[in-house]
């Protein structure tokens, strides 16, 4: 199972800091990605980090209860 949250406004640099991406200032800012063990992928875009994290947790719990993980 793979879960990750992407900030679409900033990209990490090798030096450890962040650089603005070409999408800086455009909505929605965050994209949440979820892949279960069967390879089914889901992603969804959100305006706030909190909403994206909440969706990831709900999606993960639903898959664990369903037995897809």
- pLDDT for 2-13, tens place per residue? 888 988 899 888
Residue 16: left if φ>0, alpha if ψ -120 to 50, beta else—which one? left
pLDDT tens digits, one per residue of 5-64? 988 899 888 888 989 998 998 889 999 998 887 888 889 999 999 999 999 999 888 888
What are the residue ranges spanned by the domains of the chain? Answer: 2-66
Residue 19: left if φ>0, alpha if ψ -120 to 50, beta else—which one? beta
Q: What is the pLDDT of residue 68?
A: 54
Q: Can you give the pTM of this predicted structure?
A: 0.75
């Amino acid at each position: 199972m793979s879960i990750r949250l992407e900030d679409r406004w900033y990209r990490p640099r090798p030096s450890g800091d962040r650089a603005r991406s070409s999408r800086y200032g455009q909505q929605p800012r965050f994209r949440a990605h979820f892949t279960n063990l069967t390879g089914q992928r889901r992603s969804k875009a959100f305006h706030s980090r909190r909403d994206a994290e909440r969706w990831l947790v709900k999606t993960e719990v639903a898959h664990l209860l369903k037995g897809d993980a």
